[in-house]
Chains A and B, each alone.
Chain A
Amino acid sequence: MSEPILSVSGLTAHYGDFQALFGVDVALEQGEVVAIIGANGAGKTTLMRAITGIARISAGRVRLDGRDITGTAAPGILMAGIAMVPEGRRLFPSLSVEENLLIGAHARRAAGHWNLESVYRLFPALRERRHHPGTALSGGQQQMVAIGRALMSNPRVLLCDELSLGLAPVVIREIYAAFPEIRASGASIVVIEQDVGQALKVADYVHCMMEGRITLSGRPGDLSRDAIHDAYFGATH
Protein backbone atom coordinates (compact mmCIF):
# COMPACT_ATOMS: atom_id res chain seq x y z
CA MET A 1 0.00 0.00 0.00
CA SER A 2 1.27 3.50 -0.84
CA GLU A 3 1.82 6.27 1.71
CA PRO A 4 -1.59 7.70 2.82
CA ILE A 5 -2.19 11.32 1.82
CA LEU A 6 -3.34 12.16 5.36
CA SER A 7 -2.44 10.16 8.42
CA VAL A 8 -3.41 10.87 11.99
CA SER A 9 -1.77 8.76 14.66
CA GLY A 10 -2.29 8.60 18.42
CA LEU A 11 -4.03 11.99 18.43
CA THR A 12 -4.95 13.30 21.87
CA ALA A 13 -6.62 16.65 22.58
CA HIS A 14 -8.11 18.45 25.57
CA TYR A 15 -10.66 21.17 26.17
CA GLY A 16 -9.30 22.65 29.38
CA ASP A 17 -9.38 19.79 31.88
CA PHE A 18 -11.65 17.70 29.71
CA GLN A 19 -9.95 15.15 27.45
CA ALA A 20 -11.81 15.04 24.13
CA LEU A 21 -9.61 12.66 22.10
CA PHE A 22 -7.79 9.52 23.26
CA GLY A 23 -5.13 8.39 20.79
CA VAL A 24 -7.14 8.50 17.56
CA ASP A 25 -5.69 6.89 14.40
CA VAL A 26 -7.11 7.70 10.97
CA ALA A 27 -5.57 7.23 7.53
CA LEU A 28 -6.82 8.65 4.24
CA GLU A 29 -5.57 7.19 0.97
CA GLN A 30 -5.17 9.33 -2.15
CA GLY A 31 -8.51 9.75 -3.91
CA GLU A 32 -10.48 8.09 -1.11
CA VAL A 33 -13.51 9.21 0.87
CA VAL A 34 -13.35 8.37 4.56
CA ALA A 35 -16.40 8.91 6.75
CA ILE A 36 -16.31 9.42 10.50
CA ILE A 37 -19.59 8.71 12.24
CA GLY A 38 -20.65 8.98 15.83
CA ALA A 39 -23.10 10.64 18.17
CA ASN A 40 -22.91 14.23 19.41
CA GLY A 41 -19.90 14.73 21.65
CA ALA A 42 -18.06 11.68 20.32
CA GLY A 43 -15.10 13.91 19.42
CA LYS A 44 -15.57 14.11 15.65
CA THR A 45 -15.49 17.89 15.44
CA THR A 46 -12.58 18.09 17.88
CA LEU A 47 -10.69 15.74 15.57
CA MET A 48 -11.31 18.10 12.65
CA ARG A 49 -10.33 21.13 14.72
CA ALA A 50 -7.14 19.40 15.84
CA ILE A 51 -6.17 18.49 12.29
CA THR A 52 -6.80 22.03 11.02
CA GLY A 53 -4.83 23.61 13.84
CA ILE A 54 -7.71 25.33 15.62
CA ALA A 55 -7.69 23.00 18.63
CA ARG A 56 -4.39 22.31 20.35
CA ILE A 57 -2.97 18.80 20.05
CA SER A 58 -1.69 17.34 23.34
CA ALA A 59 -0.07 14.24 21.84
CA GLY A 60 0.13 12.34 18.56
CA ARG A 61 1.06 13.22 14.98
CA VAL A 62 -0.65 14.58 11.87
CA ARG A 63 1.11 13.94 8.53
CA LEU A 64 0.19 15.22 5.11
CA ASP A 65 1.80 13.20 2.34
CA GLY A 66 4.43 11.99 4.81
CA ARG A 67 5.25 15.52 6.01
CA ASP A 68 4.72 16.18 9.72
CA ILE A 69 2.33 19.10 10.12
CA THR A 70 1.49 18.57 13.82
CA GLY A 71 0.99 21.81 15.68
CA THR A 72 0.98 24.02 12.58
CA ALA A 73 -1.41 26.98 13.03
CA ALA A 74 -4.64 27.01 11.02
CA PRO A 75 -3.43 29.30 8.19
CA GLY A 76 -0.38 27.07 7.68
CA ILE A 77 -2.54 23.95 7.46
CA LEU A 78 -4.60 25.54 4.68
CA MET A 79 -1.40 26.50 2.87
CA ALA A 80 -0.18 22.89 3.16
CA GLY A 81 -3.31 21.79 1.31
CA ILE A 82 -6.02 20.87 3.82
CA ALA A 83 -9.25 22.86 3.48
CA MET A 84 -12.25 22.58 5.76
CA VAL A 85 -15.99 23.01 5.39
CA PRO A 86 -16.74 23.91 9.01
CA GLU A 87 -19.76 22.75 10.96
CA GLY A 88 -22.59 25.24 10.61
CA ARG A 89 -21.02 26.48 7.33
CA ARG A 90 -19.77 29.71 8.89
CA LEU A 91 -20.07 31.91 5.83
CA PHE A 92 -18.86 35.49 6.28
CA PRO A 93 -22.00 37.63 6.66
CA SER A 94 -20.41 40.80 5.24
CA LEU A 95 -19.29 39.02 2.08
CA SER A 96 -21.38 38.21 -0.99
CA VAL A 97 -21.59 34.66 -2.31
CA GLU A 98 -18.86 35.34 -4.83
CA GLU A 99 -16.67 37.07 -2.25
CA ASN A 100 -17.10 34.11 0.08
CA LEU A 101 -15.84 31.89 -2.73
CA LEU A 102 -12.96 34.25 -3.58
CA ILE A 103 -11.79 34.41 0.01
CA GLY A 104 -11.28 30.64 -0.16
CA ALA A 105 -8.47 31.34 -2.64
CA HIS A 106 -7.18 34.39 -0.75
CA ALA A 107 -4.03 32.80 0.61
CA ARG A 108 -3.53 29.58 -1.33
CA ARG A 109 -3.67 29.98 -5.10
CA ALA A 110 -2.67 26.46 -6.09
CA ALA A 111 -3.10 25.45 -9.69
CA GLY A 112 -5.92 23.01 -10.18
CA HIS A 113 -9.39 22.28 -11.35
CA TRP A 114 -11.21 24.71 -9.10
CA ASN A 115 -11.91 28.36 -9.83
CA LEU A 116 -15.04 30.54 -9.76
CA GLU A 117 -16.18 29.13 -13.11
CA SER A 118 -15.83 25.45 -12.17
CA VAL A 119 -17.48 26.00 -8.78
CA TYR A 120 -20.46 27.68 -10.50
CA ARG A 121 -20.61 24.72 -12.90
CA LEU A 122 -20.64 22.35 -9.94
CA PHE A 123 -23.35 24.34 -8.12
CA PRO A 124 -25.26 26.28 -10.83
CA ALA A 125 -27.69 27.69 -8.27
CA LEU A 126 -24.91 29.86 -6.89
CA ARG A 127 -24.13 31.64 -10.14
CA GLU A 128 -27.36 33.62 -10.33
CA ARG A 129 -27.14 34.52 -6.66
CA ARG A 130 -23.49 35.42 -6.66
CA HIS A 131 -24.04 39.04 -5.62
CA HIS A 132 -26.36 38.20 -2.73
CA PRO A 133 -24.96 38.19 0.82
CA GLY A 134 -23.83 34.63 1.56
CA THR A 135 -26.05 34.37 4.60
CA ALA A 136 -29.19 35.35 2.65
CA LEU A 137 -29.24 31.97 0.87
CA SER A 138 -31.13 28.82 1.85
CA GLY A 139 -29.34 26.34 4.09
CA GLY A 140 -28.51 24.00 1.23
CA GLN A 141 -27.15 26.78 -0.95
CA GLN A 142 -25.12 28.11 1.96
CA GLN A 143 -23.62 24.63 2.30
CA MET A 144 -22.73 24.74 -1.39
CA VAL A 145 -20.98 28.08 -0.87
CA ALA A 146 -19.05 26.63 2.07
CA ILE A 147 -17.94 23.64 -0.04
CA GLY A 148 -17.09 25.86 -2.99
CA ARG A 149 -15.15 28.20 -0.71
CA ALA A 150 -13.03 25.30 0.55
CA LEU A 151 -12.49 23.98 -2.99
CA MET A 152 -11.24 27.36 -4.25
CA SER A 153 -7.84 26.71 -2.64
CA ASN A 154 -7.57 23.50 -4.71
CA PRO A 155 -6.94 21.43 -1.60
CA ARG A 156 -5.36 18.02 -1.57
CA VAL A 157 -7.56 17.04 1.35
CA LEU A 158 -11.08 18.32 1.94
CA LEU A 159 -12.55 18.02 5.43
CA CYS A 160 -16.35 18.27 5.62
CA ASP A 161 -17.97 18.66 9.04
CA GLU A 162 -21.65 17.68 9.24
CA LEU A 163 -22.69 18.53 5.69
CA SER A 164 -26.22 17.23 6.13
CA LEU A 165 -27.00 18.88 9.46
CA GLY A 166 -30.36 20.62 9.35
CA LEU A 167 -30.93 20.01 5.64
CA ALA A 168 -33.83 18.24 3.89
CA PRO A 169 -33.06 14.80 2.41
CA VAL A 170 -33.47 16.04 -1.17
CA VAL A 171 -30.96 18.84 -0.52
CA ILE A 172 -28.52 16.42 1.11
CA ARG A 173 -28.67 14.20 -1.99
CA GLU A 174 -27.99 17.22 -4.18
CA ILE A 175 -24.91 18.14 -2.16
CA TYR A 176 -23.47 14.65 -2.07
CA ALA A 177 -24.03 14.44 -5.84
CA ALA A 178 -21.05 16.81 -6.12
CA PHE A 179 -18.68 14.29 -4.55
CA PRO A 180 -17.75 12.34 -7.70
CA GLU A 181 -16.54 15.53 -9.41
CA ILE A 182 -14.64 16.63 -6.30
CA ARG A 183 -12.92 13.23 -6.17
CA ALA A 184 -12.21 13.43 -9.86
CA SER A 185 -10.46 16.78 -9.30
CA GLY A 186 -7.90 14.93 -7.21
CA ALA A 187 -9.02 15.88 -3.71
CA SER A 188 -9.29 13.21 -1.05
CA ILE A 189 -12.16 13.70 1.37
CA VAL A 190 -12.95 13.17 5.04
CA VAL A 191 -16.62 13.59 5.96
CA ILE A 192 -18.12 13.72 9.39
CA GLU A 193 -21.69 12.48 9.44
CA GLN A 194 -24.34 11.77 12.01
CA ASP A 195 -26.43 10.24 9.24
CA VAL A 196 -25.03 6.70 9.16
CA GLY A 197 -26.89 5.66 6.00
CA GLN A 198 -25.49 8.61 4.07
CA ALA A 199 -21.97 7.94 5.36
CA LEU A 200 -22.06 4.27 4.36
CA LYS A 201 -23.30 5.23 0.90
CA VAL A 202 -20.60 7.78 0.10
CA ALA A 203 -17.50 6.43 1.88
CA ASP A 204 -14.80 3.95 0.92
CA TYR A 205 -13.91 3.49 4.54
CA VAL A 206 -15.77 4.27 7.77
CA HIS A 207 -14.58 5.00 11.30
CA CYS A 208 -17.04 5.08 14.15
CA MET A 209 -16.22 7.27 17.18
CA MET A 210 -17.52 7.18 20.72
CA GLU A 211 -16.29 9.20 23.71
CA GLY A 212 -13.12 10.35 22.00
CA ARG A 213 -12.03 6.93 20.72
CA ILE A 214 -12.42 5.05 17.46
CA THR A 215 -14.59 2.08 18.29
CA LEU A 216 -15.01 0.51 14.86
CA SER A 217 -13.36 0.78 11.44
CA GLY A 218 -13.93 -0.95 8.15
CA ARG A 219 -15.22 -0.82 4.61
CA PRO A 220 -18.97 -0.17 4.49
CA GLY A 221 -19.68 -3.60 3.01
CA ASP A 222 -17.85 -5.35 5.82
CA LEU A 223 -19.70 -3.70 8.72
CA SER A 224 -22.89 -5.21 10.10
CA ARG A 225 -25.73 -3.05 11.36
CA ASP A 226 -25.35 -4.47 14.87
CA ALA A 227 -21.63 -3.78 14.98
CA ILE A 228 -22.22 -0.18 13.94
CA HIS A 229 -25.03 0.19 16.46
CA ASP A 230 -22.75 -1.02 19.26
CA ALA A 231 -19.88 1.19 18.16
CA TYR A 232 -22.19 4.21 17.92
CA PHE A 233 -24.10 3.91 21.18
CA GLY A 234 -21.95 1.47 23.17
CA ALA A 235 -22.78 -2.19 23.62
CA THR A 236 -26.22 -2.37 25.21
CA HIS A 237 -26.98 -6.03 24.87
Chain B
Amino acid sequence: MFSLDTIVQGLLLGGLYALFAAGLSLVFGIMRLVNLAHGDLIVLGAYLILGLGTVTGMNPFVAALIAMPLMFALGWLLQTRLLNRVLGEDILPPLLVTFGLSVVIQNGLLAAFTADSRKLAAGPVESASVAVGPVQMGVMPVMSLATAVAVILGLNLLFYRTALGRAFRATSDDAVTAQLMGIRPQRIFAMATGIALVVAAIAALYLGTRANFDPSIGPARLLYAFEAVIIGGLGSLWGTLAGGVVIGLAQTMGAAINPEWQILAGHVAFVLILMVRPRGLFPRAID
Protein backbone atom coordinates (compact mmCIF):
# COMPACT_ATOMS: atom_id res chain seq x y z
CA MET B 1 0.00 0.00 0.00
CA PHE B 2 2.72 2.44 1.02
CA SER B 3 6.15 2.25 -0.54
CA LEU B 4 9.11 1.24 1.55
CA ASP B 5 10.49 4.70 0.86
CA THR B 6 7.46 6.36 2.47
CA ILE B 7 7.85 4.25 5.59
CA VAL B 8 11.59 4.94 5.87
CA GLN B 9 11.04 8.67 5.41
CA GLY B 10 8.33 8.56 8.08
CA LEU B 11 10.66 6.80 10.46
CA LEU B 12 13.35 9.41 9.89
CA LEU B 13 10.89 12.27 10.32
CA GLY B 14 9.74 10.61 13.54
CA GLY B 15 13.31 10.86 14.80
CA LEU B 16 13.20 14.63 14.40
CA TYR B 17 9.87 14.84 16.24
CA ALA B 18 11.21 12.63 19.03
CA LEU B 19 14.10 15.10 19.40
CA PHE B 20 11.60 17.95 19.73
CA ALA B 21 9.69 15.92 22.29
CA ALA B 22 12.45 14.40 24.45
CA GLY B 23 13.05 17.46 26.62
CA LEU B 24 9.35 18.06 26.95
CA SER B 25 8.83 14.46 28.01
CA LEU B 26 11.49 14.74 30.71
CA VAL B 27 9.96 17.88 32.22
CA PHE B 28 6.39 16.66 31.86
CA GLY B 29 7.28 13.32 33.45
CA ILE B 30 9.12 14.80 36.43
CA MET B 31 7.00 17.79 37.38
CA ARG B 32 3.81 17.48 35.27
CA LEU B 33 4.71 20.85 33.81
CA VAL B 34 3.08 21.62 30.47
CA ASN B 35 5.64 23.88 28.90
CA LEU B 36 3.81 25.63 26.08
CA ALA B 37 6.99 27.57 25.30
CA HIS B 38 9.06 24.48 24.50
CA GLY B 39 8.65 24.88 20.74
CA ASP B 40 9.65 28.53 20.92
CA LEU B 41 12.63 27.65 23.10
CA ILE B 42 13.80 25.25 20.37
CA VAL B 43 13.43 28.04 17.82
CA LEU B 44 15.32 30.35 20.20
CA GLY B 45 18.06 27.70 20.31
CA ALA B 46 18.20 27.70 16.52
CA TYR B 47 18.68 31.47 16.49
CA LEU B 48 21.33 31.14 19.18
CA ILE B 49 23.25 28.64 17.02
CA LEU B 50 22.75 30.89 14.01
CA GLY B 51 24.03 33.90 15.92
CA LEU B 52 27.07 32.07 17.26
CA GLY B 53 27.85 30.81 13.77
CA THR B 54 27.46 34.24 12.20
CA VAL B 55 29.67 35.98 14.75
CA THR B 56 32.47 33.40 14.90
CA GLY B 57 32.05 31.72 11.52
CA MET B 58 31.99 28.25 13.05
CA ASN B 59 30.07 25.26 11.79
CA PRO B 60 26.56 24.88 13.33
CA PHE B 61 27.57 21.56 14.89
CA VAL B 62 30.34 23.31 16.82
CA ALA B 63 28.09 26.27 17.62
CA ALA B 64 25.50 23.85 19.04
CA LEU B 65 28.11 22.54 21.48
CA ILE B 66 28.53 26.07 22.80
CA ALA B 67 24.77 26.70 22.76
CA MET B 68 24.13 23.65 24.96
CA PRO B 69 25.56 25.01 28.25
CA LEU B 70 23.99 28.39 27.52
CA MET B 71 20.60 26.75 27.08
CA PHE B 72 21.16 24.78 30.29
CA ALA B 73 21.73 28.02 32.15
CA LEU B 74 18.62 29.51 30.58
CA GLY B 75 16.57 26.50 31.67
CA TRP B 76 17.93 26.68 35.20
CA LEU B 77 17.08 30.38 35.47
CA LEU B 78 13.66 29.92 33.91
CA GLN B 79 12.77 27.21 36.40
CA THR B 80 14.14 28.84 39.56
CA ARG B 81 13.02 32.40 38.81
CA LEU B 82 9.70 31.71 37.15
CA LEU B 83 8.27 28.23 36.84
CA ASN B 84 8.93 26.98 40.39
CA ARG B 85 6.72 29.80 41.64
CA VAL B 86 3.69 28.66 39.70
CA LEU B 87 3.91 24.87 39.94
CA GLY B 88 1.06 23.44 41.95
CA GLU B 89 -2.16 21.49 41.96
CA ASP B 90 -3.77 23.96 39.60
CA ILE B 91 -2.46 23.50 36.04
CA LEU B 92 -3.68 26.91 34.88
CA PRO B 93 -0.86 29.12 36.28
CA PRO B 94 2.03 27.18 34.69
CA LEU B 95 0.03 26.84 31.48
CA LEU B 96 -0.54 30.58 31.30
CA VAL B 97 2.98 31.53 32.29
CA THR B 98 4.51 29.32 29.61
CA PHE B 99 1.93 30.58 27.12
CA GLY B 100 2.97 34.12 27.99
CA LEU B 101 6.58 33.11 27.62
CA SER B 102 5.82 31.65 24.21
CA VAL B 103 4.33 34.95 23.03
CA VAL B 104 7.25 36.92 24.50
CA ILE B 105 9.91 34.70 22.88
CA GLN B 106 8.17 34.66 19.49
CA ASN B 107 7.79 38.40 19.35
CA GLY B 108 11.20 39.04 20.85
CA LEU B 109 12.74 36.94 18.07
CA LEU B 110 10.56 38.73 15.55
CA ALA B 111 11.83 42.11 16.76
CA ALA B 112 15.45 40.95 16.78
CA PHE B 113 15.63 38.85 13.60
CA THR B 114 12.55 39.89 11.53
CA ALA B 115 10.13 37.37 10.05
CA ASP B 116 12.60 36.30 7.34
CA SER B 117 13.24 32.57 6.93
CA ARG B 118 16.67 31.43 8.06
CA LYS B 119 18.64 28.24 7.74
CA LEU B 120 21.71 26.83 9.41
CA ALA B 121 24.33 26.03 6.76
CA ALA B 122 25.93 22.72 7.66
CA GLY B 123 27.91 22.35 4.45
CA PRO B 124 27.98 19.44 1.98
CA VAL B 125 26.51 16.98 4.50
CA GLU B 126 23.12 18.63 3.95
CA SER B 127 22.67 17.22 0.46
CA ALA B 128 24.54 13.96 1.04
CA SER B 129 22.57 10.75 0.95
CA VAL B 130 23.17 7.06 1.26
CA ALA B 131 21.46 4.23 -0.57
CA VAL B 132 20.35 1.31 1.56
CA GLY B 133 18.98 -1.31 -0.80
CA PRO B 134 16.33 0.38 -2.90
CA VAL B 135 15.88 3.33 -0.52
CA GLN B 136 17.74 6.65 -0.72
CA MET B 137 18.20 8.22 2.71
CA GLY B 138 19.48 11.73 3.38
CA VAL B 139 22.43 11.76 5.72
CA MET B 140 20.93 14.57 7.84
CA PRO B 141 17.61 12.76 8.44
CA VAL B 142 19.52 9.59 9.33
CA MET B 143 21.67 11.59 11.72
CA SER B 144 18.63 13.16 13.36
CA LEU B 145 17.05 9.76 13.98
CA ALA B 146 20.36 8.39 15.29
CA THR B 147 20.71 11.46 17.53
CA ALA B 148 17.15 11.01 18.81
CA VAL B 149 17.88 7.40 19.72
CA ALA B 150 21.16 8.44 21.38
CA VAL B 151 19.46 11.25 23.32
CA ILE B 152 16.68 8.98 24.56
CA LEU B 153 19.24 6.32 25.47
CA GLY B 154 21.29 8.91 27.33
CA LEU B 155 18.29 10.30 29.17
CA ASN B 156 17.24 6.77 30.12
CA LEU B 157 20.69 6.02 31.50
CA LEU B 158 20.60 9.26 33.43
CA PHE B 159 17.12 8.50 34.69
CA TYR B 160 17.63 4.88 35.70
CA ARG B 161 21.36 4.54 36.39
CA THR B 162 22.49 7.67 38.21
CA ALA B 163 21.94 9.26 41.61
CA LEU B 164 20.48 12.33 39.91
CA GLY B 165 18.02 10.15 38.03
CA ARG B 166 17.04 8.47 41.30
CA ALA B 167 16.35 11.90 42.77
CA PHE B 168 14.32 12.81 39.66
CA ARG B 169 12.15 9.74 40.07
CA ALA B 170 11.79 10.12 43.84
CA THR B 171 10.77 13.78 43.52
CA SER B 172 8.32 12.92 40.77
CA ASP B 173 6.79 10.17 42.95
CA ASP B 174 6.46 12.15 46.16
CA ALA B 175 8.02 15.59 46.54
CA VAL B 176 7.30 15.87 50.28
CA THR B 177 8.96 12.60 51.21
CA ALA B 178 11.85 13.46 48.86
CA GLN B 179 12.46 16.53 51.00
CA LEU B 180 12.80 14.23 54.02
CA MET B 181 15.69 12.64 52.10
CA GLY B 182 17.40 16.03 51.92
CA ILE B 183 16.36 16.55 48.30
CA ARG B 184 15.37 20.09 47.31
CA PRO B 185 12.61 19.66 44.70
CA GLN B 186 13.06 23.16 43.34
CA ARG B 187 16.67 22.41 42.52
CA ILE B 188 15.77 19.03 41.00
CA PHE B 189 13.20 20.75 38.80
CA ALA B 190 15.76 23.37 37.75
CA MET B 191 18.18 20.61 36.79
CA ALA B 192 15.47 18.86 34.77
CA THR B 193 14.53 21.99 32.84
CA GLY B 194 18.23 22.74 32.26
CA ILE B 195 18.72 19.28 30.75
CA ALA B 196 15.51 19.65 28.73
CA LEU B 197 16.89 22.82 27.16
CA VAL B 198 20.20 21.12 26.36
CA VAL B 199 18.13 18.60 24.42
CA ALA B 200 16.23 21.53 22.90
CA ALA B 201 19.56 22.91 21.63
CA ILE B 202 20.28 19.58 19.94
CA ALA B 203 16.77 19.60 18.45
CA ALA B 204 17.38 23.18 17.29
CA LEU B 205 20.48 22.10 15.40
CA TYR B 206 18.49 19.60 13.33
CA LEU B 207 15.49 21.91 13.03
CA GLY B 208 17.71 24.59 11.54
CA THR B 209 19.86 22.44 9.28
CA ARG B 210 17.05 20.35 7.80
CA ALA B 211 14.66 23.15 6.89
CA ASN B 212 14.01 26.86 7.03
CA PHE B 213 12.84 28.41 10.26
CA ASP B 214 11.38 31.75 11.34
CA PRO B 215 10.17 33.07 14.72
CA SER B 216 6.61 31.81 14.24
CA ILE B 217 7.16 28.07 13.75
CA GLY B 218 7.51 27.12 17.43
CA PRO B 219 3.88 26.34 18.32
CA ALA B 220 3.40 23.85 15.46
CA ARG B 221 6.60 21.99 16.48
CA LEU B 222 5.40 22.07 20.08
CA LEU B 223 2.15 20.44 19.08
CA TYR B 224 3.90 17.55 17.25
CA ALA B 225 6.17 17.14 20.26
CA PHE B 226 3.26 17.04 22.68
CA GLU B 227 1.46 14.52 20.54
CA ALA B 228 4.56 12.34 20.63
CA VAL B 229 4.81 12.61 24.42
CA ILE B 230 1.13 11.86 24.99
CA ILE B 231 1.01 8.99 22.49
CA GLY B 232 4.08 7.51 24.17
CA GLY B 233 2.63 7.77 27.65
CA LEU B 234 3.54 10.02 30.56
CA GLY B 235 7.04 9.39 31.88
CA SER B 236 8.16 6.89 29.24
CA LEU B 237 11.10 8.19 27.20
CA TRP B 238 11.12 5.25 24.79
CA GLY B 239 7.37 5.80 24.49
CA THR B 240 8.13 9.35 23.38
CA LEU B 241 10.42 8.01 20.63
CA ALA B 242 7.65 5.64 19.57
CA GLY B 243 5.18 8.53 19.66
CA GLY B 244 7.45 10.63 17.47
CA VAL B 245 7.72 7.79 14.98
CA VAL B 246 3.93 7.33 14.95
CA ILE B 247 3.43 11.03 14.11
CA GLY B 248 6.23 10.93 11.52
CA LEU B 249 4.85 7.81 9.84
CA ALA B 250 1.28 9.13 9.85
CA GLN B 251 2.46 12.37 8.27
CA THR B 252 4.46 10.78 5.44
CA MET B 253 1.71 8.26 4.76
CA GLY B 254 -0.89 11.04 4.69
CA ALA B 255 1.36 13.02 2.35
CA ALA B 256 1.76 9.98 0.10
CA ILE B 257 -1.99 9.91 -0.45
CA ASN B 258 -2.39 13.68 -0.81
CA PRO B 259 0.41 16.18 -0.11
CA GLU B 260 -2.08 18.49 1.60
CA TRP B 261 -2.97 15.82 4.14
CA GLN B 262 0.47 15.50 5.73
CA ILE B 263 -0.08 17.46 8.95
CA LEU B 264 -3.75 16.52 9.18
CA ALA B 265 -2.89 12.80 9.09
CA GLY B 266 -0.55 13.22 12.08
CA HIS B 267 -3.26 14.89 14.14
CA VAL B 268 -5.86 12.31 13.15
CA ALA B 269 -3.51 9.50 14.17
CA PHE B 270 -3.10 11.22 17.54
CA VAL B 271 -6.86 11.41 18.09
CA LEU B 272 -7.42 7.81 17.04
CA ILE B 273 -4.74 6.48 19.38
CA LEU B 274 -6.02 8.52 22.32
CA MET B 275 -9.59 7.39 21.67
CA VAL B 276 -8.40 3.82 22.19
CA ARG B 277 -5.74 4.49 24.84
CA PRO B 278 -6.38 7.76 26.70
CA ARG B 279 -3.14 7.38 28.67
CA GLY B 280 -0.95 6.65 25.68
CA LEU B 281 0.85 3.51 24.54
CA PHE B 282 3.34 2.96 27.38
CA PRO B 283 2.24 4.93 30.46
CA ARG B 284 4.79 4.55 33.24
CA ALA B 285 4.14 7.27 35.74
CA ILE B 286 0.78 7.76 37.36
CA ASP B 287 -0.89 10.99 36.33
A binds B: yes
Residues of A within 8 A of B (CB): 52-54, 73-75, 78-79, 83-84, 86, 90, 92-95, 99, 102-104, 106-108, 149, 153
A92 engages B180 (CB within 8 Å): no
Across chains A and B, the number of contacting residue pairs, with CB separation under 8 Å, is 67
B182 engages A92 (CB within 8 Å): no
Q: What's the dominant secondary structure at chain A's contact region?
A: loop
Closest 10 CB pairs of A and B: A107-B182, A74-B179, A78-B182, A94-B169, A92-B173, A90-B177, A92-B170, A75-B182, A75-B184, A103-B170
B169 engages A95 (CB within 8 Å): yes
For this complex, 23 residue pairs linking A to B, each with C-beta atoms less than 8 Å apart, are: A54-B176, A54-B180, A73-B179, A74-B176, A74-B179, A78-B182, A79-B182, A83-B180, A84-B180, A90-B174, A92-B173, A92-B177, A94-B170, A94-B173, A95-B170, A102-B166, A103-B167, A103-B183, A104-B181, A106-B166, A106-B170, A106-B181, A153-B181
B82 touches A (CB below 8 Å) = no
Residues of B within 8 A of A (CB): 163, 166-167, 169-170, 172-174, 176-184, 284-286
Residues of A within 8 A of B174 (CB): 90, 92
A153 engages B182 (CB within 8 Å): yes
Residues of A within 8 A of B178 (CB): 92, 103
- The chain B residue sitting closest to A149, CB to CB, is B181
Q: What's the dominant secondary structure at chain B's contact region?
A: helix
Q: How far is the CA of A195 from the CA of B182 in the complex (A)?
A: 30
B166 engages A99 (CB within 8 Å): yes
From B181, B284, B285, B286, residue with most partner A Cβ within 10 Å: B181
A94-B172, A102-B163, A106-B181 given; name 5 further pairs at CB < 8 Å.
Answer: A75-B179, A86-B180, A92-B169, A92-B170, A153-B182
- The chain B residue sitting closest to A74, CB to CB, is B179
Residues of B within 8 A of A79 (CB): 182
Residues of A within 8 A of B166 (CB): 95, 99, 102-103, 106
Q: How far is the CA of A122 from the CA of B178 in the complex (A)?
A: 24
Distance (Å) between the CB of A36 and the closest chain B CB? 18
Q: How far is the CA of A149 from the CA of B284 in the complex (A)?
A: 24
Distance (Å) between the CB of B287 and the closest chain A CB? 13
Q: How far is the CA of A133 from the CA of B173 in the complex (A)?
A: 13
Residues of B within 8 A of A86 (CB): 177, 180
B179 engages A54 (CB within 8 Å): yes
B177 engages A106 (CB within 8 Å): no
- The chain B residue sitting closest to A153, CB to CB, is B182
Distance (Å) between the CB of B185 and the closest chain A CB? 9
Q: How far is the CA of A145 from the CA of B286 in the complex (A)?
A: 22
- The chain A residue sitting closest to B170, CB to CB, is A92
Q: How far is the CA of A177 from the CA of B170 in the complex (A)?
A: 29
B173 engages A95 (CB within 8 Å): yes
